Amino acid sequence: MHDKRVAVLIDGGYMDKILYEAGSMKVSFSRLANKLARGKPLLRTYYYHCLPHLSQRPTPEEQTFYANKERFFNALRRLDDFEVRLGHLAPRGWDNAGNRILEQKGVDVYLAVDVCRLSYTGSVSEIILVAGDGDLAPAVALAKDLGIKVCLWFGESPSTRVSEQLWYICDQRRALDVAILEECLLSPAPERRDNDAGQL
């Protein structure tokens, strides 16, 4: 096992909620990953999300939103030591207002598989997790059984509440608050480095 080397795993949908609750803050994900690593050697950052849904006859707004998200994911892929894994959105019926309900598919599976793989291979001594879904608890339990520390970073608003299963199974829990996010703000465009990326 690599002593003190860490991996950062970010559920992009959960991170979107944290940033929205912080005033739609735009952050540099490379700075954020290094901040969460707390000075420890960072093996890699893994980011999990889905592209937005496009209707059969997409509106200009849908097309623009889709293109912006695609551009953002590609910018993350260009960051050093950054891996982007995309699931997909699947229809799950309609709400009372007649709007289609969409559900992420594959994101939690990718995340759980990476937790298990990093643990089994001994690639890291600590996994840093930004997520809230209780479905990840079994993977975290396995990581702990294999001697891996798991640190959970969470949002403080009701919309970013962490499931009890995930909360209790992690070794450490830290609030990803506005003060930390402000230290990772995206630089203005003229100062931005080519290998930086921020939230769109």
H or E stretch covering 30: helix 29-37
Residue 194's pLDDT band, with cuts at 50, 70 and 90, is very low
d(CA 187, CA 25): 12
Pairwise pLDDT comparison (198 vs 29), residue with the higher score: 29
C-alpha pair distances (Å), 122 with each of 119, 148, 180: 5, 8, 29
Q: What mean pLDDT, rounded, does the chain reach?
A: 89
Query: Which residues are within 8 A (CB) of 193 and not within 5 positions of it... i.e. 6 or more apart?
Result: 187
- pTM of the predicted model as reported, rounded to 2 decimal places: 0.88
Q: What is the CA radius of gyration of the chain?
A: 17
- β-pairing, 82-94 vs 100-105, is antiparallel
Q: Phi first, then psi: what are they for 196, rounded to 5°?
A: -105, 160
- Angle at Cα 138 formed by Cα 134 and Cα 142, nearest 5°? 145
SS3 content of the chain, % helix, strand, coil (to 5): 40, 25, 35
User: For a pLDDT cut of 90, what percent of the chain falls above it?
Assistant: 72
What's the confidence (pLDDT) of residue 18? 97
Q: Using alpha carbons, select from 114, 183, 155, 150 the residue that is nearest to residue 16.
A: 155
Q: Could you tell me if 166 and 14 are in contact, meaning their C-beta atoms sit under 8 angstroms apart?
A: no
Q: Using alpha carbons, select from 102, 68, 67, 70 the residue that is nearest to residue 86.
A: 70
User: What pLDDT digit, counting tens, does each position of 46-94 carry?
Assistant: 999 998 877 778 888 889 988 999 999 999 999 999 999 998 777 776 7
Q: What is the DSSP string of 84-114?
A: EEEEEEEEEEE-TTSPEEEEEESHHHHHHHH
* Amino acid (one-letter) located at 33: A
Q: Using alpha carbons, select from 38, 49, 48 the residue that is nearest to residue 126.
A: 38
What's the confidence (pLDDT) of residue 200? 45
Across 92-96, 102-106, 166-170, 189-193, the highest mean pLDDT is recorded for 166-170
* CATH superfamily, with its number, for domain 6-191: 5'-nuclease (3.40.50.1010)
Q: For the chain, give every domain's residue range.
A: 6-191
